Structure 1
Amino acid sequence: MSHGAATSSSSAPKRGVIGVRARAALAATVIVAVALALGSAALVLLLQRSLSMSVEASVQDRVEEVVAALEAMPAATDSDALTRSLGSIAQTASRQGTVVQILAADGDVAGQSAEIEGEAALGRPVDPLDGIVWADARLPVDEEDAYRVARAGFAAPTGIYTVIVAQSLESVGESTAAVLPLLGIGYPILVLVVAASTYWLVGRSLRPVEAIRATVAAIGGRQLTERVPVPAAKDEIARLASTMNEMLARLESAQLSQRRFVADASHELRSPIATIKAMGETVVAHPDGALSATAAHAFVEEASRMERLVNGLLLLARADERGLSGERHDVDLDDLLAAERDRVRSTTSLTVESRIEAVRVSGSRSQLAQAIRNLVDNAVRHAHRSVALSVRAGDDAAIVEIGDDGEGIPAADRERVFDRFVRLDESRARDEGGTGLGLAIVTEIVRAHGGSVEVVDSRSGAQLRVTLPRRPA
């Protein structure tokens, strides 16, 4: 029970993990919320600034109006008339929420609005050269609201005066207060709309991804022929689906190759195992008898063949898993070719033609020796009367060529001969001890050394060429 519980818990999705859809919606909502908050704050500040500038413009207009009236007064005006005129000017320039006060050069109030009648001076006199001096203040007429106050000195024909104009900032506060509730209502609504829209749009965009996931999850080890649906839109999801299909195609190809490899290996092992089993049964049936020399020789041949096959399978499996590796040393290819030439001459009746130059490469001596031996054995197996061995140095590569005067390799089979368990002459190759892995092993070894192997044109028979990166002697 505990094992089953552990298995189910490990396969279940972890709780508390937010999906891509929710994360995208959350991220978009946070970004929009922050942007809206900053935008709302900027809007309020800009509104306040705009209204304040409007108040300043209105105050400046009143100042200019009073100054123009003072300029129009004649210089010979008597004191009583001057007092009446200054009071009239202040009253005329006043507006609702705006008060005007005119100070004489000594700071005494010369005229002012009715709202501040009897009040002391709202500020000190200002030198005409100072221009307009601005300030925010609270006035005795309304201590709850702030006022924007401007003071400007002016030299009139009747004397030097300071004009003080103050306008209430109540309209600025009221307008700002009217906007804040609208922002307070609209802000959360807009954030919720963005969150819901993003969640829906991301979910809609991820539907093809979910379809891909469901299809891949449903594909089993025996259903690699299936493919995921590719959306019509040429976007990232379509490219993902195409990539998944390419991966499935590679997996299908690898699975087919693996099955074919296992089937071919089983087929190749069946014959030597059957022979060895039959001989073993004979020994068991006749414990006192002795195997004939022919039977013993056949027993050894089949065991050797099975050993070569198993060793070849192991080498190819190792190459498939992590590639062939080994210590790299300087290897003289001419020595390897010379050894194979002498071996063929001493063990066969074939004529061996050789053209060997001193060529050195870097690699595993044992692996390169095996590759050359496999090539030579292949040539000996298919030759009628002679084989040809050569090695020479190219500009930046060592070139090894092994040829025979046999039937040759058809152009259509020049690529296929390097596949595993491929025999162009099935019965002859098996009878002569071939495993069908020789050229496949050559391909893996040469590839591990950064080279290439190919079938090249020949006047008679087959000729295989190996090209390896050259190391100077």
Structure 2
Amino acid sequence: MAAAVRSWWSRRSLRLRLTAAAALVMAAGLAGAAVLLVVWLHGSLIAGLDQTALQRAQVVAVDADSNQISAEVPATSHAEAAVQVVDGKGNVLASSANLRGLPRVFTFPASSSGTPRAHTVHDIPEHEHGTWRAVGVRAGTAGNPLTVYVALPTESVDHGLSQLTTGLATGVPAVVALLTGVVWLFTGRALRPVDAMRAQTAEITESDLGRRLDVPPADDALGRLATTFNDLLGRLDAATRRQRRFIADAAHELRSPLSTLHTRLEVADQHPESAHWQTIAPELLRETERLNRLVDDLLRLARLDARPRLRTRSVDLDEIVFAEVREARDRTGLVIDQHAVGAARVSGDEDALASVVRNLLDNALRHAATRIDVSLRTLHGTARLVVADDGPGIPGADRERVFDRFTRLDDARARDTGGSGLGLAIVRDIVTAHHGSTHIEDNRPGTRLIVVLPVEGRIARASR
């Protein structure tokens, strides 16, 4: 039952829930204040009644002490007061007119303190259904002790409190209803910018991510929410633009080898007598290899974008470097110097790190003039891998741009023999996933590509 109620309540509108919560708080607050007011007023009126009874008793006691009291105590402004003067044996010596001829009515002893305590009494003759507040004051002498009792009815207090309670019982719900209506109106007004943002957000489509929400002028939660939404839209817009540019660049890069393959095969098919397969076959193989590398790079980038979990374990980075250098030497006549490679153990994905070293070497092979120098050392809790070539180098203004996807400099495009412009982008993505960093320095001549990775035991702390 409780779960059903919570489920029903959670489906109500925010405006209704806020208004209902405010109404409950106001009702509880006003009801509590009304109860406190009635209790405080009742105590204050009763205290005033007790003080009046005490003052009247003290006046009568003074008269009794001076032997000026008669059998009937004269009435005062409180004509309804019930008064009895009782001697030590319990005999009534004097009384008010409303207790004339009656035996002792008050049975509680007089207080011995300076401020007598008032008592609540009932069943005083002729007022059986009323409640009285009575005090007893000592009078007379030691040889003839007297007690003066004075009681005043609480009817006026009860009647006034009854009227007040009735008024509060009627007024509090009316005030709560009025305030609830005001809260409903103001809540609707306060949530109007949220509804406007919802409507604007609903109009934004995937092809129109350049639009932004109107930010309220007030620097409040709604303003910060709108700013956060705009930041999110900005990131989505940038990501979508990158994705579209990536798809366009990928299509462009794929078109070239596919067009070459298609053209060569079409010519060979239409003119089989003039086709020199011994010449055509190696060219076609080179184009298919280029196409295969491009597809592999695209798949690798897609996996990195999906942020898969790395198969992290302890890896000897120097062994990966040695293995990739051996493989690179089989593909080139350039000198590849690995004497500066020292031991370095890192925590990471072995296949991904091998891809990093392979792409760094491939990039150096495409641009080196005569030699490539590879070094690896540990310093201050990091493994520093450097692949340097003696090629034309990279201008300082382009050293960050070359890590973007499908980015190749103009002279690199002229000399490129199969690069897709994805190798360094893959390097940076993999290194970043391993909590490392990449940058480029001048080699004079040539370029130094530098990768810095946390050594084993540091990557876990870096992830935290």
TM-score where L is the length of structure 1? 0.88
| Aligned-residue offset at 1:151 | 2.5
* Equivalent residue pairs, number: 447
Indicate conservation of the 8 Å contact 2:391/2:445, yes or no: yes
Indicate conservation of the 8 Å contact 2:122/2:129, yes or no: no
Letter paired with 1:448: A
Residue 118 in 1 paired to residue 112 in 2?
no
Letter paired with 1:109: V
| Aligned-residue offset at 1:253 | 0.1
Distance 2:132 2:197 in 1: 68
| Aligned-residue offset at 1:117 | 1.1
Residue 190 in 1 paired to residue 184 in 2?
no
| Aligned-residue offset at 1:311 | 1.0
1:55 to 49, 55, 60: 49
Residue 19 in 1 paired to residue 3 in 2?
no
| Aligned-residue offset at 1:348 | 2.5
Distance 2:383 2:270 in 1: 57
Alignment of 1:25-104 (within 5 A): 25-73=19-67, 85-88=69-72, 90-92=73-75, 95-104=78-87
For 1:263, the equivalent position in structure 2 comes to: 248
Indicate conservation of the 8 Å contact 2:138/2:147, yes or no: yes
2:201 to 216, 221, 233: 216
Distance 1:430 1:385 in 2: 15
User: Closer, same or farther in 2 for the Cα pair 1:426/1:194, shift >3 Å?
Assistant: farther
For 1:381, the equivalent position in structure 2 comes to: 366
Distance 2:454 2:195 in 1: 49
User: Closer, same or farther in 2 for the Cα pair 1:128/1:303, shift >3 Å?
Assistant: closer
Alignment of 1:350-369 (within 5 A): 350-354=334-338, 355-369=340-354
Bigger shift: residues 124-133 or 431-440 = 124-133
1:317 to 269, 287, 302: 302
Bigger shift: residues 386-395 or 322-331 = 322-331
Residue 348 in 1 paired to residue 328 in 2?
no
User: Closer, same or farther in 2 for the Cα pair 1:185/1:283, shift >3 Å?
Assistant: same
Letter paired with 1:380: L
Letter paired with 1:350: L
| Aligned-residue offset at 1:24 | 0.8
Indicate conservation of the 8 Å contact 1:103/1:111, yes or no: yes
Distance 1:207 1:282 in 2: 68
Could you say what secondary structure the match of 2:49 adopts? helix
For 2:319, the equivalent position in structure 1 comes to: 335
Letter paired with 2:379: G
| Aligned-residue offset at 1:176 | 0.9
For 2:380, the equivalent position in structure 1 comes to: 395
Indicate conservation of the 8 Å contact 1:36/1:187, yes or no: yes
| Aligned-residue offset at 1:340 | 3.9
User: Closer, same or farther in 2 for the Cα pair 1:194/1:132, shift >3 Å?
Assistant: closer
| Aligned-residue offset at 1:107 | 1.1
Indicate conservation of the 8 Å contact 2:134/2:150, yes or no: yes
Distance 1:16 1:457 in 2: 62
CA deviations on 1:296-354 (whole Å, 9 max, x unpaired) are 111111111111111111111111112462242322x3233333444444432323333
Distance 2:305 2:70 in 1: 107
Letter paired with 1:348: T
Letter paired with 1:320: D
For 1:141, the equivalent position in structure 2 comes to: 126
Could you say what secondary structure the match of 1:441 adopts? helix
Could you say what secondary structure the match of 1:436 adopts? coil
Alignment of 1:156-175 (within 5 A): 156=141, 159-175=144-160
Question: Percent identical across equivalent pairs?
Answer: 37
CA deviations on 1:419-450 (whole Å, 9 max, x unpaired) are 11000137746850111111011112212222
Unaligned ranges ≥5, structure 1:
1-13, 74-81
Distance 1:238 1:129 in 2: 71
2:232 to 211, 224, 247: 247
User: Closer, same or farther in 2 for the Cα pair 1:24/1:382, shift >3 Å?
Assistant: same
Indicate conservation of the 8 Å contact 1:312/1:437, yes or no: yes
Could you say what secondary structure the match of 1:86 adopts? coil
| Aligned-residue offset at 1:184 | 2.9
Indicate conservation of the 8 Å contact 2:83/2:96, yes or no: yes
Distance 2:453 2:343 in 1: 14
Could you say what secondary structure the match of 2:435 adopts? coil
Letter paired with 1:165: V
Could you say what secondary structure the match of 2:337 adopts? strand
Distance 1:449 1:129 in 2: 90
User: Closer, same or farther in 2 for the Cα pair 1:134/1:324, shift >3 Å?
Assistant: closer
Unaligned ranges ≥5, structure 2:
1-7, 458-464
Distance 2:234 2:281 in 1: 48
For 1:227, the equivalent position in structure 2 comes to: 212
Letter paired with 2:197: I
Indicate conservation of the 8 Å contact 1:374/1:438, yes or no: yes
For 1:79, the equivalent position in structure 2 comes to: none
TM-score where L is the length of structure 2? 0.90
| Aligned-residue offset at 1:288 | 8.7
CA RMSD of aligned residues (A): 2.5
Indicate conservation of the 8 Å contact 1:71/1:157, yes or no: no
Distance 1:15 1:23 in 2: 8
Distance 2:78 2:243 in 1: 98
Could you say what secondary structure the match of 2:17 adopts? helix
| Aligned-residue offset at 1:384 | 1.6
| Aligned-residue offset at 1:400 | 0.7
| Aligned-residue offset at 1:291 | 5.5
Indicate conservation of the 8 Å contact 1:55/1:167, yes or no: yes
Distance 1:175 1:129 in 2: 33
Indicate conservation of the 8 Å contact 1:147/1:166, yes or no: yes
